[in-house]
Structures are given as C-alpha cells and as structure tokens.
Amino acid sequence: MLAGKPLIAHTYGRVSKSFSDVLVATDSTEIGLACKSLDIPYVITSPKHENGTLRTLEAYQLLGKEYDYIINVQGDEAFITDDVLAPLTRLLEQEQPMAATLKAPIPNYDSNSNVFVTTNLNNQALYFSRNPIPNSREGQAKRFQHVGVYAFTPEALETYCALAPTPLEQTEMLEQLRWMEHGYTWSVATAPSKPLSIDTPEDFERAKSFIK
C-alpha cells in the first residue's frame, strides 16, 4: 500500500492518462483481487513466465485484439508520467521500429536497483548494465538510466518470446539483453526525467517520502 492505494493502482492510474487501452497482467491472485476491487482491468497469466515480456505476450493473446504496438510498463513504475512516456510514443509514430524503450538522465537520488544504458549515434541501445556505464578515465561520464518500459510490434513480441535465454541476459539479469544478443536492436527515446522505480524496501521508503 502506498498513500492508501495498492502500488499497482498508482502505476495503472498514471499509464491510463497516456493510453486508452490499459490492463494489468499478473500471475498473482492477490494482485488480481486488488485490481478487481478497484475496477482495474486485468488478466491472470501463467506463473511459469521467466520475465515480463513473456507475460506480456500471453496477456496480448488473451486480450484478442490487434494493435500496432504492445507497450509493457513494468508494475513498479508508480511515478511514471505522460511527460516520460511521450518521447516513446513519438518515436513509435515517427520511426516505427520493431522494438523500443526509454532512457533518462540520472536522477538526483541514488538507488542500487537502477539500470544503466548506452546508445549509439542513431539512438539504438549498445548495452544495458546494472553497473554504471560508460566509464570515464577523465572525470565524470555522462550517463543515462533505463526506464522500465518496452514497446514491441506484435511480430517482434512473438519473435522475442521464441528466443532462447542468453549469457549476458543471465549474467546481468536483464531481459532486454536477450533481444540484443540475438542480433536485434532497441530504438531508444530519451525521457526528460527518470521516475522512481520501486524495486527494493529502500525504494519504497523513498516513494513514501515522495508522496508526502
């Protein structure tokens, strides 16, 4: 509970301000009941999924509708805003990539759950890491952190879910690396700020202070 509401309700409420067709995908009966009590659309998926992208495909298939893109906003993104999501939607509309995600400048708070990302000159991801990248021999390097949002065309989502797990993915425990290790690319839009992702007890304490 955060400010009297389940954490997932905060994420759903914020994402619903940017998109009209939003639902929660979960394998948790507890989360499903919380969504039901708040009239939040949801689907219960298999508990066997290795990551959220695999769960997203099942949710999309259960929905039975066709879309140009399926966007997975991770449930811990309780502070995401339209300003953060807008650069991604512009990228999808203008460039129509197979898959895309978001980066943002490093925030003024520190969290050991943050993920760093580097991109090439065409704004495609080079690497994602839980360690700070890039490293600079001379002074402070300009770094960006990943925002937990993934966009796929239906075809790309099906392709990802047919791929085998990869060594770097398993080393870093970052599902987005599977896509890259198999030779595919992430287009990366830049958000104006990095919202707090609630991944640890320390993040949750920070979230309560943010709400206040």
pLDDT band for position 140 (cuts 50, 70, 90): confident
- Would you say residue 33 has pLDDT above 90? yes
Contacts 24+ apart (CB under 8 A), 177-181: 177/127, 177/128, 179/99, 180/125, 180/127
The pLDDT value recorded for residue 153 is: 98
Strands annotated E in the chain: 24-26, 42-44, 70-73, 99-105, 116-119, 125-129, 144-152, 187-190
The pLDDT value recorded for residue 93 is: 97
pLDDT band for position 99 (cuts 50, 70, 90): very high
Report the SS3 class of residue 35: helix
CATH number of 7-198: 3.90.550.10
